[in-house]
């Protein structure tokens, strides 16, 4: 017998049995209850009480039934009736040991997997102040990016997918070699090359929640640790533009920044009423006392092992500005360079925006692309206004490429001419 409540507390096993049977009772139960849990994106079917459901596991036949018993309850002198639901599981006694050691764990595992897949995923961001004990606020995560739509080299795309699949299926391996079950990615390259889009595609591929960590809103290393341990398993923790968030190019404190910090604080306190919002935000960024060592411990310290199956992704436009200690394996395990658009990525953009896979101008695009530095974001912007006219979209993007090539050539001629005059 599996009761809904155990000593006034919710019984997790009852909830898991309810979830497990919801996927199996649709065809056999005569009366079904239809619901949509708040945390789920799917409809859920559950069988009504006083009904039976037959299950089979490894050759064993098992019978589940749901029952309801009314009990008297008193609260502040008021006596009323409350319902106590319970599942009853029956099977042949010779299978008792196998049911206990194999079948019940199987029910728990399947139920947890079902709840994970059907849940509404969240995008979290850290608060600048700890409001009501909550370090993170969230909104539903609905970004549509997938590996099919992200514009990047197909070989690199397959390499990333393969690496992610190895990561999520290697829990025992990580435990055996004595490493925390986490992995670090560094995405680097010029602005507009698809770093944020790739992060969304990764989260959708893994079906993970996202924690978007804004380092400038973190006041200290201890607060950074609290943020880390309050994240959930099966999540992607991202820090975008890490080189802009903190000075991580050197280990020593930047004395100049400290002086600016003190001066800005004094000015703010003296002119507090007249300080504008930009000034306040600038002051906040200088007020953060998160250090490089705090970030290193966040990524690879003892606290980083409090939880499992976490992917940490840092992005930067300038990899060379980051301290080498942050870049080593164990912290940033995989470095992914996203650069200007190549022909394979262009064809994906062409399919996404214009709905075509072939065009007579593709050959010219292939010749022009190596001579221009256009990001996927820039090409996508050219395509944006031409979704109903693919010919116009292709003409516009080719004209833009020709214009850039011509501009580059003119700049080279001018530079050469200036050099001749100097000589």
Residue 258 covered by a domain: no
As a whole number of angstroms, the distance between CA 237 and CA 123 comes to: 10
Task: Give the whole-number percent of the chain exceeding pLDDT 70.
Answer: 75
Q: Which of 236, 216, 245 is nearest to 143 (CA)?
A: 236
As a whole number of angstroms, the distance between CA 84 and CA 3 comes to: 7
Same domain, 101 and 154: no
Same domain, 72 and 102: yes
pLDDT for res 419: 42
Residues in the chain: 423
As a whole number of angstroms, the distance between CA 55 and CA 220 comes to: 54
Residue 80 covered by a domain: yes
As a whole number of angstroms, the distance between CA 233 and CA 26 comes to: 31
50 versus 404: which is more confidently predicted? 404
pLDDT for res 252: 43
Same domain, 235 and 133: yes
Same domain, 108 and 163: no
pLDDT band at 5 (very low <50, low <70, confident <90, very high): confident
Cα separations (Å) of 24 from 17, 48, 396?
Answer: 11, 14, 54
pLDDT for res 46: 65
As beta bridge partners, residue 56 has 61
Residue 365 covered by a domain: yes
CB 334 within 8 A of CB 184: yes
Tens digit of pLDDT for each residue in 128-185? 655 556 789 989 899 999 999 999 999 999 999 999 999 999 989 988 998 889 999 9
Residue 90 covered by a domain: yes
CA max distance for the chain: 103
Retrieve residue 420's tokens: 């001749």
pLDDT for res 422: 44
Residue 95 covered by a domain: yes
108 versus 39: which is more confidently predicted? 108
Retrieve residue 112's tokens: 């947890």
Domain boundary among 118, 152, 179: 118
pLDDT for res 113: 82
Residue 260 covered by a domain: no
Q: Indicate whether 413 pLDDT > 70.
A: no
Give the number of domains in the chain. 3
Residue 275 covered by a domain: no
As a whole number of angstroms, the distance between CA 252 and CA 126 comes to: 27
Same domain, 114 and 129: no
Tens digit of pLDDT for each residue in 351-406? 999 999 999 999 999 999 999 999 999 999 999 988 779 999 999 999 999 999 99
Tens digit of pLDDT for each residue in 294-328? 888 888 877 777 778 999 999 999 999 999 999 99
pLDDT for res 256: 46
Same domain, 74 and 140: no
| Domain span at 362 | 343-422
As a whole number of angstroms, the distance between CA 153 and CA 332 comes to: 21
Q: Indicate whether 79 pLDDT > 80.
A: no
Q: What 8-state DSSP symbol labels residue 48?
A: P
Same domain, 38 and 146: no
Axis crossing angle, helix 12-22 with helix 104-118, rounded to the nearest 10: 70
pLDDT band at 48 (very low <50, low <70, confident <90, very high): low
Same domain, 108 and 21: yes
Same domain, 214 and 69: no
Same domain, 153 and 249: yes
CB 336 within 8 A of CB 186: yes
CB 61 within 8 A of CB 91: yes
pLDDT for res 304: 74
Domain boundary among 87, 118, 149: 118
Same domain, 49 and 133: no
Q: What 8-state DSSP symbol labels residue 102?
A: I
Residue 210: strand, helix, or coil: strand
Q: What is the mean pLDDT of residues 8-14?
A: 77
Residue 313 covered by a domain: yes
Retrieve residue 108's tokens: 């728990």
pTM: 0.72
Domain boundary among 96, 118, 140: 118
Tens digit of pLDDT for each residue in 90-119? 999 999 999 999 999 999 988 888 877 777
Retrieve residue 159's tokens: 């390499």
Q: Which of 397, 219, 187 is nearest to 291 (CA)?
A: 219
Same domain, 84 and 191: no
pLDDT for res 336: 97
pLDDT for res 152: 94
7 versus 116: which is more confidently predicted? 116
Q: Indicate whether 62 pLDDT > 70.
A: yes
Q: What is the mean pLDDT of residues 323-340?
A: 93
């Amino acid at each position: 017998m599996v009761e809904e409540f155990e000593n006034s507390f919710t019984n997790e096993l009852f909830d898991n049995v309810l979830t497990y049977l919801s996927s199996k009772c649709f065809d056999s139960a005569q009366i079904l209850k239809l619901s949509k849990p708040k945390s789920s994106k799917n409809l859920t079917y559950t069988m009504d009480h006083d009904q039976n459901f037959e299950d089979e596991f490894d050759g064993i036949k098992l019978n589940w039934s749901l029952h309801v018993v009314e009990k008297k309850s008193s609260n502040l002198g008021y006596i009323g009736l409350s319902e106590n639901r319970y599942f009853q599981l029956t099977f042949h006694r010779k299978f008792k040991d196998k049911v206990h050691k194999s079948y019940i764990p199987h029910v728990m595992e399947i139920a947890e997997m079902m709840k994970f897949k059907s849940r509404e995923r969240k995008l979290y961001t850290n608060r600048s102040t700890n409001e009501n004990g909550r370090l993170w606020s969230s909104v539903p995560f609905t970004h549509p990016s997938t590996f099919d739509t992200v514009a990047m080299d197909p070989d690199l795309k397959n390499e990333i997918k393969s690496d992610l699949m190895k990561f999520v299926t290697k829990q025992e391996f990580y435990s055996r070699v004595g490493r925390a079950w986490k992995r670090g990615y560094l995405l680097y390259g010029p602005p507009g090359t698809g770093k944020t889009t790739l992060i969304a595609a990764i989260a959708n591929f893994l079906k993970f929640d996202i924690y978007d960590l804004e380092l400038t809103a973190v006041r200290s290393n201890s607060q950074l640790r609290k943020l880390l341990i309050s994240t959930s398993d099966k999540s992607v923790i991202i820090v975008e533009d890490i080189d802009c968030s903190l000075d991580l190019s050197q280990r020593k404190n930047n004395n100049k920044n400290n002086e600016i910090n003190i001066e800005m604080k004094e000015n703010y306190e003296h002119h507090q009423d007249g300080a504008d919002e930009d000034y306040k935000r600038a002051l906040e960024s200088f007020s953060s006392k998160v250090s490089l060592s705090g970030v290193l411990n966040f990524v690879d310290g003892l606290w980083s092992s409090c939880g499992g199956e976490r992917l940490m992704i840092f992005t930067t436009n300038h990899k060379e500005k980051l301290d080498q200690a942050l870049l080593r394996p164990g912290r940033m395990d995989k470095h992914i360079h996203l650069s200007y658009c190549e022909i394979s990525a262009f064809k994906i953009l062409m399919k996404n925006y214009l709905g075509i896979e072939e065009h007579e101008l593709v050959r010219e695009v292939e010749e022009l692309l190596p001579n221009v530095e256009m990001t996927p974001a820039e090409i996508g912007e050219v395509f944006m206004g031409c979704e109903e006219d693919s010919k116009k979209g292709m003409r516009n993007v080719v004209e833009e490429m020709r214009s850039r090539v011509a501009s580059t050539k003119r700049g080279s001629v001018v530079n050469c001419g200036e050099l001749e005059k100097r000589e």
